[in-house]
Amino acid sequence: MANYQGNNGQVKIKSGSDSLTAVADVRSWSVTVTREVVENTAMGDDFRKYLKGTGSFTGSMDIVYNDSETAVVATSMNPDTDAAVTVEFYGDAVDGTKFVGEVIVNSFAVTASYDGLMTASVSFTGTGAPTVAGWVY
């Protein structure tokens, strides 16, 4: 079983017919896939019962703010962008393990402090099901 180090991670993004472009200076990323449950317990049941409901995914990434970021990336991460964008989150860019999905950017927050780098946090919500390639749960 392989172990992965975050320092080999990568994020790629594209909008519309643009080609995938790597996001520079990614510090971290997170993707959470969840599924709702629907209760179907009836009178006479001793324990609650559930059915599988609708799934969704959300996430975020933290980047070092870089004003030389390509126009594709800068436009895609803008919450005012009307269309969903495609994002690929690589756990290890070397071996190709990744989450792929269409997302809508919820927020883009920039932070600066006197003793650190200027950073940006991007939050998103997935639209449709993500594709998971190469991950073993």
Domains of the chain from N-terminus onward? 6-30+58-133 (2.30.110)
Reported confidence tier of residue 37, pLDDT bands at 50, 70, 90 = very high
Inter-residue contact 90 to 104 (CB < 8 Å): no
pTM, 2 dp: 0.80
Is beta strand 21-22 parallel, antiparallel or unpaired with respect to 10-15? antiparallel
Calculate mean pLDDT across residues 46-67. 91
Q: Residue 36 is which amino acid?
A: E
Gap between the Cα atoms of 112 and 10, Å rounded: 23
Inter-residue contact 30 to 101 (CB < 8 Å): no
Gap between the Cα atoms of 71 and 9, Å rounded: 22
